Amino acid sequence: MPVVLGASVAGASHTRDDLPCQDAFRVTEADAALVLAVADGLGSAARSDLGASAATEAAAARAAELTNDPCRAAIEGVIAARDALEKLACVEDCEIRDLACTLIVLVAARRIGIAHVGDGAAVGLCDGEPYLLSPPAPSEYVNEVDSLASDDWVDHVRPVLCIEAIDAVGVLTDGCQHAAIRHGKAHAGFFRPLFDYAGTGVGAEEGDEALAQLLSGEKMSEHSDDDKTLVLAILR
């Protein structure tokens, strides 16, 4: 069984303005496979916290049905998440752009499949070294983010299939990017201690709490006052 630790915390700016955390994540295990879905609600979208929650729930549920083909499962998860946003917009009587969020779906079985819309990143650990499996989407302008709620969302889905033996994975939202990614690479000084800690056999409740404390701590807040989500999984 894989060891999974995860936490989402409200950023300092949201805490100061009494706003909810607009990040969300879901973890699902099915047929000896693991599905991680992580979303970051756009700060410019009025109800993005609802969108992020709905997107991750739908993505994880759909991907878990197709784990024999990890890449297809991840892509189908993104499609299901978009459908969930459209339905939620009708239920909430709002525009789909009010629910805008990014999304990363990672399916780990014998291989790893990823489907990614927007910023945030997926990282893998191989032979003790962390590597970017799926980096943040490039953007021409500051604060320009590809969104699952955009009209051309399908053009922004970036699939990744990893066939190498990967020992652990991590998925994070953009609030963690400045600490976790340096010079376009996964920052070993950030990830190695975290993967080592997750691999000690720490209990899920204790580990999740420790991760939440790290994400809400002063050092992480120095890098970004945005919401922060990080999910770690030791696969073997």
Q: Which string of b and e fits 122-149 if b means at least 16 CB within 10 Å?
A: bbbbeeeebbebbbbbeeeeeeebbbbb
Identify residue 134 by its one-letter amino acid code. S
23-36 tens-digit pLDDT: 999 999 998 899 99
Residue-number span of the structural domain to which 143 is assigned: 3-234
Report residue 147 as tokens: 């969104």
To 10 degrees, what angle do helices 188-198 and 204-215 make?
160
Whether the predicted pLDDT of 142 surpasses 60: no
| Cα 136 to the center of its chain, rounded Å | 11
Q: Is residue 26 within 8 Å of residue 56, measured between CB atoms?
A: yes
Q: Binning pLDDT at 50, 70 and 90, where does residue 119 land?
A: very high
In sequence order, the β-bridge partners of residue 33 are: 30
At residue 182, the 3 state secondary structure works out as strand
171-205 tens-digit pLDDT: 999 999 999 999 999 999 999 999 999 999 899 99
Q: Which of 16, 52, 51, 6 is nearest to 226 (CA)?
A: 16
Q: Binning pLDDT at 50, 70 and 90, where does residue 7 land?
A: very high
Report residue 57 as tokens: 């729930």
Q: Compute CA distances 22 → 46, 80, 110, 228, whole Å.
A: 10, 20, 32, 9
Whether the predicted pLDDT of 153 surpasses 60: yes
Q: Which of 3, 1, 17 is nearest to 225 (CA)?
A: 17
Domain count, the chain: 1
Q: Binning pLDDT at 50, 70 and 90, where does residue 2 land?
A: confident
pTM reported for the whole predicted model: 0.95
Q: Is residue 225 within 8 Å of residue 20, measured between CB atoms?
A: no
Q: Which residues contact 127 (CB under 8 A, 6 or more apart)?
A: 167
Q: Is residue 24 within 8 Å of residue 229, measured between CB atoms?
A: yes
Helix H or strand E segment including 158:
strand 158-162
Return the top range by mean pLDDT from 18-22, 115-119, 137-141: 115-119
CATH of the domain at 11: 3.60.40.10
